[in-house]
Amino acid sequence: MRPAATTPLRLALALALCAALLAGCGSSGGSTGNGLASKSPEQIVAAAKAASLGAATVHISGSVVDEGKPISIDMELVAGKGAKGHITVEGATIEVVELEKAFYVKGSSAFYTHVGGAAAAKLLQGKWLKAPTSKGEFAAFAQLTNLSKLLNSTLSSHGRLTSAPTITINGEKAVGVTDAEHGGTLYVAATGTPYPVEIAKGGSGGGKILLDRWNQPVTLTAPPNPININELQSGG
């Protein structure tokens, strides 16, 4: 039995690669103005990117709609080490742990049924699958679990930038930058460290992803007794 590349996996990857739709809600690290309000849109994005890539950990959560399908994500990322959390696509939840060059994936009954049918769901219910990070169907998760790659690719992929109004988010002022091509708006903390505060996109294909808990401790542990996906693929 071989789990095939599925719509949930493709949508999970699409979430990571969807430029102008990554969002954040993080602590700015202080109440002192950081001067972003007087900067150009390009300078604001550059500052947010530099701050994000210098972080050790971040929590990402929220929801978007991709190709008419709702996706929600809740992940904790650790720079240079891995990540843990879950993704839900159309009611099918996928738990993910990435650690030591391996992915551990555990799906809900709905996910396993979607992947391989009722028989696969019965066999795999409650069990973790283990797969290498470098290849295979689940390698797509690398776009979600690698902190530097995720933030670098997302904050680097945009069209023409324009200024958006400064707003208050969770009690903190944030300067806005809108991607004129994709329609998403990035908000960056206007005080303290210029972490991304929020990027949101309206409309039927929009959504909001939050980033918070910057640099807070995160413990990554490999799940016990995973099933090696190579054995499933070989029928072993």
Beta bridge partners of 132: 102
Checking if the pLDDT of 101 tops 50, the result is yes
Give the pLDDT mean for 154-175. 83
For residue 10, the model assigns a pLDDT of 39
pLDDT score for 223: 94
Closest listed residue to residue 128, CA positions, set 8, 222, 7, 236: 222
Q: Is-contact 63 70, C-beta < 8 A?
A: yes
Residue 152 host element (H or E): helix 147-156
* pLDDT attached to residue 132: 83
pLDDT, greater one: 168 or 146: 168
Average confidence (pLDDT) over 4-32: 39
Collapse the DSSP code of 234 into the 3-class scheme (helix H, G, I; strand E, B; otherwise coil) and give the result: helix
pLDDT of residue 85: 94
Average pLDDT of the residues in 150-170 = 78
State the architecture of 7-220 in CATH terms: Clam (2.50)
Each domain of the chain, given as residue ranges in start order, spans 7-220
Who wins on pLDDT, 18 or 174?
174
Q: Are 77 and 214 in contact (CB under 8 A)?
A: no
Report the pLDDT value the prediction gives residue 20, as an integer from 0 to 100: 30
Confidence category of residue 21, pLDDT binned at 50, 70, 90: very low
Radius of gyration of the chain (CA): 19
More confidently predicted of 137 and 9: 137
Q: What is the DSSP letter of 4?
A: P
Inform me whether the pLDDT recorded for 140 exceeds 60.
yes
Average pLDDT score over the chain? 77
Q: Is the pLDDT of residue 90 over 90?
A: no
**Confidence band for 234, pLDDT divided at 50, 70 and 90:** low
The answer to whether 25 and 84 are in contact (CB under 8 A) is: no
Alpha-carbon span 171 to 157, nearest angstrom: 29
Q: What is the pLDDT of residue 235?
A: 52
The DSSP code sequence of 174-218 is EEEEEETTT--EEEEESBSS--EEEEEE-STT-EEEEEE-TT---
Residues in a beta bridge with 62? 73, 209
Q: Would you state the torsion angle of the CA atoms of residues 4, 208, 193, 167, taken in this order, to the nearest 10 degrees?
A: 170
Q: Does position 3 have pLDDT exceeding 50, yes or no?
A: no
Confidence of residue 130 (pLDDT cuts 50, 70, 90): confident
If phi over 0 gives left and psi between -120 and 50 gives alpha, with beta otherwise, what is residue 120? alpha
Q: How much is the pLDDT for 221?
A: 95
Give 84 or 19, the one with higher predicted confidence.
84
Helix (H, G, I), strand (E, B) or coil at 94: strand
Q: What are phi and psi of 183, to 5 degrees?
A: 85, 0
What is the model's pTM?
A: 0.76
